[in-house]
Amino acid sequence: MCSQILLVINYLNDAEALTRGENILRAVRWEWYQYQLLYPGTPNVVAAWDQWYLDLMQTRLIEARTFLVAWATEGVTHYQGINTPDAQYGLLNSQNYLRLGQGLGGFNDLGYPTGTPTPP
């Protein structure tokens, strides 16, 4: 499972994958905007979508952080006191993941599109 998680992270770090994700968000926002124009009097669906999406991403990041910290803490506990090269390697990796997990902050929404959507 760990290797699958790393594959997903590697994919998400790919610039083309990020661009495709950003384009999908812009397209969704545009569709909600078209819906608002088609049905006057509709509440601001774009703003509601933006709030929902940002909340979703924030909670997913918190869950990912919680999982990573718990997983790495278990690794540190497991490998401490075992004096084999493999165990020492496992301990160093677990400590590194623990440090990285504890350093995760909230979802960075600075690049999230705002305002009136534009056509994709």
The DSSP letter of residue 110 is: T
Asked if 58 and 107 touch (Cβ cutoff 8 Å), the reply is yes
Per-residue pLDDT, 22: 86
pLDDT digits (tens, 9 = 90+) for 23-59: 999 999 999 999 999 998 989 999 999 999 999 988 9
Query: Average pLDDT of 56-85?
Result: 92
* Predicted model pTM: 0.73
DSSP type of residue 114 = -
How far apart (Å, rounded) are the C-alpha atoms in residues 54 and 61?
A: 11
For 82-119, the pLDDT digits (tens) are 999 999 999 999 999 899 888 887 778 888 888 899 88
* Domain positions in the chain: 2-103
